[in-house]
Structure 1
Amino acid sequence: MTTYIMLLNWTDAGVKSVHDSPSRLDTAKKQLAEMGGEMKAFYLTMGEYDMVAVCEAPDDAVAARFAMQLGMGGNVRSRTLKAFPEGAYREIIATLA
């Protein structure tokens, strides 16, 4: 499985209904699981982003579909980063000339 870091911000609608945010998180976790992925960690953050999620998905298409599905809800906007674990990082660096 591939790891993705999702940087999330509430939209105006998401902030107005922030009390519903925990149930929306539960729904998102379930949706990702139904796509064959898993939300490994979730954080409320301070700074440029409101929340950060560490997710795993079988492939980029599933990660993209999940991000779009979140956006369609109208409560968050996301930026998704593909993450390479340390082992892959070392392999990539080792191939540099």
Structure 2
Amino acid sequence: MTTYIMLLNWTDAGVKTLRDSPARLDKVRTQLVEMGGEMKAFYLTMGEYDMVAVCEAPDDAVAARFAMQLGMGGNVRTRTLKAFPEGAYREIVATLA
């Protein structure tokens, strides 16, 4: 599985219904599992982003579909980063000329 870091911000609609946010988180965790992935970690953050999620998905298409579904809900905007684990990083660097 591939790891993705999702940076999330609440929209105005998401802030207005903030008390419902934990239930929405539970729902999207289940949706990702149904898509063949898993949310490995979730953090409320301070700074430029309101939340960070570490997710795994079988491929980029599933990760993209998951991010789009989140956006369609209207409560968050996402930025998704494909993450390479340390072993892959070392392999990539080792191939540099």
TM-score where L is the length of structure 2 = 1.00
Provide the rounded CA distance (Å) in 1 between the counterparts of 2:73 and 2:23.
Answer: 13
For 1:9 and 1:65, the matched residues in 2 are separated by 18
- Root-mean-square deviation (Å): 0.1
Which residue of structure 2 aligns with residue 64 of structure 1? 64
2: distance between equivalents of 1:27 and 1:81? 22
1:92 is aligned to 92
Q: 1:46 aligns to what? A: 46
Code of the aligned partner of 2:9: N
TM-score (norm 1): 1.00
Residue segments in structure 2 that go unaligned for 5+ positions in a row? none
**Where in structure 2 are the equivalents of 1:1-97 lying within 5 Å?**
1-97=1-97
List gaps (5 residues or longer) in structure 1. none
Alpha-carbon separation, structure 2, partners of 1:72 and 1:27: 14
2:74 and 2:67 mapped to 1: Cα distance?
12
Work out the number of aligned pairs and report it.
97
Q: Give the deviation of 1:4 after TM superposition.
A: 0.1
Offset at residue 21 of structure 1 (A) = 0.1
The list of structure 1 runs, each at least 4 consecutive aligned residues, that deviate by more than 6 angstroms after superposition, is none
Partners of 1:63 and 1:74 in 2: CA distance: 18
Aligned identity (percent) is 89
Cα offset for 1:15? 0.2
- SS of structure 1 residue aligned to 2:26: helix
Residues 24-66 of structure 1: CA distance to partner in whole angstroms, max 9, x if unpaired? 0000000000000000000000000000000000000000000
